[in-house]
Chains A and B, each alone.
Chain A
Amino acid sequence: MTTHPTAPAVQAAPCMSARWQGNSVSDIRRRMVDRVATGLCWAATVLVLLMLFSILFVLVRNGVGGLRWVTFVHVTLPPGQAGGLANAIMGSLIQTGLAVLIGAPVGLLVGIYLAEFTATDGKLINFVRFVSDLLLSAPSILVGLFIYMIVVVPSGHFSGIAGALALSMLVVPVVVRTTEDMLRLVPLAMREAAIALGAPRWRMILFVCLRAAREGVATGILLALARVSGETAPLLFTSLGNMNWSVAPGKPMASLPVTIYQYAGAAYADWTALAWTGALLITAGILMINITVRLGLGRNRK
């Protein structure tokens, strides 16, 4: 493409479609480059959408057969004995639930810190935000190793609570981000009004700002829940998995992702079928949460 628009008498259409009339060699070339680039953009979009549909299609095709009653009421059994996923589903619910119970309050408080304490702790706040963002993308398997070293090794055994702790480390940064963003959207006038009425700062923050931002904050917590419910790597060395019914948080606990991981590579057809069903369940759940959040909140956050 030539460097500057030399095209004589360009009747530039004001819209995006660039239907101008120049017919010199450079014009034709520019037009062709533009066409090719546009075509490639279309191709990229279509290709990635195809990937998404291919994933969903394969999940449904391989997983839908296992959506039977036994899958939800039976625990995992040796191959050939018509086992289900009940323990894994229960374990996943317990661990993600605990992870959110532990992680969300911490994330909320840190989000409040980042949004409301800038006046006093400016520099430190930037650092905390930076570290929280790092934690957001840190390799999740290393989180598993970390919890293994500080919880599993000292306590001597794998446990559901260790799994929940590992997941909660992934919940915190997600909640921090949304909470801070949402609190920053609360108008100054509301804060001033609360202070003028004589409310102490903590009451202003918790009962005025946080209340005003509650929908966005709840969204963040939901997204965090969606994110950790599919995490496998942090659970491998913390809650380990359990072939039996396991609800005691102090014992090794089954979870859907770990069961999928163990079953997907197995040589038994009924195990791999169960793995696909589990995968379908998890993905459907996560996508459901994401779609609800997006529909419910429009475009507050990506």
Chain B
Amino acid sequence: MERSATSPSALTGAAKGNGDAVFAAIVRFSAALILLGLGGMVAVMAWGARGAFARFGPGFVFDKAWNPVTQHFGAAAPMFGTVITALLAILLAVPLAFGIAVWLTEIASARIAGVIGTLIQLLAAVPSIIFGMWGFAVLVPFMAHYVEPLASHTLGRVPGIGTLFRGAPYGTGFLTGGMILAVMITPFICAVMRDVFLSIPAVLKESAYGLGMTRWEVVRRIILPWSRSSVVGGVMLGLGRALGETMAITFVIGNANHIGWSLFSPGNTIASLIALEFPESAVGSLKFSSLMAAGFLLMLISLGTLVCSRLLLRTKAAGR
């Protein structure tokens, strides 16, 4: 912080009376940099994507092909993978995060909750590439040897939902990707939930317990209604993270440009597609432009989610 202190004080040597004006200008300029950063990202993606959109039009979004030989590209498969893995992750992570948040705030004693809460938050600090390696070394073999054969022999025979669980047990695929993402985003969602749960006025809970409610009833009828919008905001925050996650998913998704209704089928996501294909595409080529277009779509999807999340979290904070 000393560093930033030197530049304005040096400036005021020259403009003695204008210290405040100069400082305000510097500070506002920095704020403008933030706006420029995000705006620039969107603009640069759109600019890079213009070739692909000009060539394929809006059909790019719904086209399943990704064929460098015929120069035919579409974003449907990676978008499908992105959305499916993120939704699976949310499906798995929300109950986990909710359970942990309830455990931390209602069940465990304050001291133990402090320690365990810190451990859970440490999970959020682990870099995503580590999750990827762990997923590849531990989760993928586990899925391939135990979960997937078992599931396809039992659940796979059930008519209707059976399609979801059929397919070769590679171990990689949508479900494994979703599971890795779930482990990664659980601490984020849990942190939001825990903070709101702790902010509930104690009187509300005490009077509910006083009326003879069980713990679960208090959670269900007092805590959840009180914190609903923040909880949804936290879930959207997790969803936003899951959508843009790259390294972890690249290790376990299987990396096939493929739309499949089996949870075990390999696929890809926009982020993993970019990570794998971008180094092999020349600037200005149609493939390059298509990757930028996919990135642009990812930007739109994740920004949309994050905007919803922030709005939900903010309304609650303002209403408090």
Q: Judging by beta carbons under 8 Å apart, are B307 and A38 in contact?
A: no
Q: Judging by beta carbons under 8 Å apart, are A291 and B122 in contact?
A: yes
**Given contacts A58-B137, A109-B4, A279-B129, is CB(A48)–CB(B30) below 8 Å?**
no
CB closest residue in chain B, given A293: B125
Question: Which of these binds chain B: A65-73, A75-83, A141-149, A242-250?
Answer: A141-149
**In angstroms, how far is the closest chain A Cβ from the Cβ of B96?**
5
Interface residue ranges of A29-55 to B (CB < 8 Å): 30-31, 33-34, 37-38, 40-45, 47-49, 51-52, 54-55
Interface digits, B70-106 against A, CB 8 Å rule (1 contact, 0 not)?
0000000000000000000000000111111011101
**In angstroms, how far is the closest chain B Cβ from the Cβ of A10?**
3
Instruction: Name the interface size band of chain A.
Output: 35 or more
CA distance A121 to B244 in the complex (A): 32
CA distance A203 to B24 in the complex (A): 12
Residue picked from B3, B95, B246, B271, most chain A C-beta under 10 Å: B246
**Given contacts A30-B214, A137-B240, is CB(A276)–CB(B133) below 8 Å?**
yes
Interface residue ranges of B115-130 to A (CB < 8 Å): 116, 118-123, 125-130
A190 at the interface (CB under 8 A from B): no
Q: Judging by beta carbons under 8 Å apart, are B129 and A62 in contact?
A: no
**Given contacts A52-B119, A227-B125, is CB(A105)–CB(B191) below 8 Å?**
no
CA distance A105 to B106 in the complex (A): 41
Query: A116 to chain B: which residues have CB within 8 Å?
Result: 27
CA distance A302 to B124 in the complex (A): 11
Q: Judging by beta carbons under 8 Å apart, are A236 and B275 in contact?
A: yes
Q: Judging by beta carbons under 8 Å apart, are B130 and A282 in contact?
A: yes
**Given contacts A30-B217, A138-B306, A139-B302, is CB(A51)–CB(B133) below 8 Å?**
no
CA distance A302 to B114 in the complex (A): 11
CA distance A261 to B250 in the complex (A): 10
Q: Judging by beta carbons under 8 Å apart, are B96 and A48 in contact?
A: yes
CA distance A20 to B307 in the complex (A): 45
**Given contacts A48-B186, A279-B130, is CB(A203)–CB(B1) below 8 Å?**
no
Q: Judging by beta carbons under 8 Å apart, are A34 and B217 in contact?
A: yes
Interface majority SS on A: helix, strand, loop or mixed? Answer: helix
B14 at the interface (CB under 8 A from A): no
**In angstroms, how far is the closest chain A Cβ from the Cβ of B235?**
13
CB closest residue in chain B, given A12: B212
Which residue from A34, A214, A282 sits with its C-beta under 8 Å from B127?
A: A282
Query: B59 to chain A: which residues have CB within 8 Å?
Result: none
**In angstroms, how far is the closest chain A Cβ from the Cβ of B197?**
12
Q: Judging by beta carbons under 8 Å apart, are B278 and A261 in contact?
A: no
**In angstroms, how far is the closest chain A Cβ from the Cβ of B245?**
8
Q: Judging by beta carbons under 8 Å apart, are A138 and B303 in contact?
A: yes
CA distance A112 to B4 in the complex (A): 11
A266 at the interface (CB under 8 A from B): no
**In angstroms, how far is the closest chain B Cβ from the Cβ of A145?**
5
Question: Which of these binds chain A: B41-49, B151-159, B163-171, B260-268?
Answer: B41-49
**In angstroms, how far is the closest chain A Cβ from the Cβ of B119?**
6
**Given contacts A135-B34, A139-B298, A282-B127, is CB(A49)–CB(B215) below 8 Å?**
no
Interface digits, A195-216 against B, CB 8 Å rule (1 contact, 0 not)?
0000011110111001000100
Query: A203 to chain B: which residues have CB within 8 Å?
Result: 19
**In angstroms, how far is the closest chain B Cβ from the Cβ of A201?**
5
Q: Judging by beta carbons under 8 Å apart, are A62 and B137 in contact?
A: yes
A117 at the interface (CB under 8 A from B): yes
Query: A52 to chain B: which residues have CB within 8 Å?
Result: 119-120, 122-123, 126
A140 at the interface (CB under 8 A from B): yes
CA distance A51 to B97 in the complex (A): 13
| Further 17 A-B residue pairs, CB within 8 A, beyond A51-B123, A108-B4, A110-B34 | A14-B210, A40-B95, A44-B96, A44-B103, A45-B120, A58-B134, A104-B3, A110-B27, A138-B38, A142-B244, A145-B48, A145-B274, A145-B278, A146-B41, A176-B34, A202-B19, A261-B129
22 contacts between A and B (CB under 8 A): A5-B211, A5-B212, A16-B106, A44-B100, A45-B103, A48-B120, A55-B134, A105-B3, A133-B306, A138-B302, A139-B271, A141-B271, A202-B8, A205-B23, A206-B8, A227-B125, A229-B127, A230-B127, A276-B133, A283-B130, A287-B126, A302-B191
Using a CB–CB cutoff of 8 Å, the interface residues on chain A facing chain B are 1, 5, 7, 10, 12, 14, 16, 18, 20, 30-31, 33-34, 37-38, 40-45, 47-49, 51-52, 54-55, 58-59, 62, 104-106, 108-110, 112-114, 116-117, 121, 124, 127-128, 130-135, 137-143, 145-146, 149-150, 153, 169, 172-173, 176, 200-203, 205-207, 210, 214, 217-218, 226-227, 229-233, 236-237, 257, 260-261, 264-265, 275-276, 279, 282-283, 286-287, 290-291, 294, 302
Closest 3 CB pairs of A and B: A230-B127, A139-B244, A44-B99
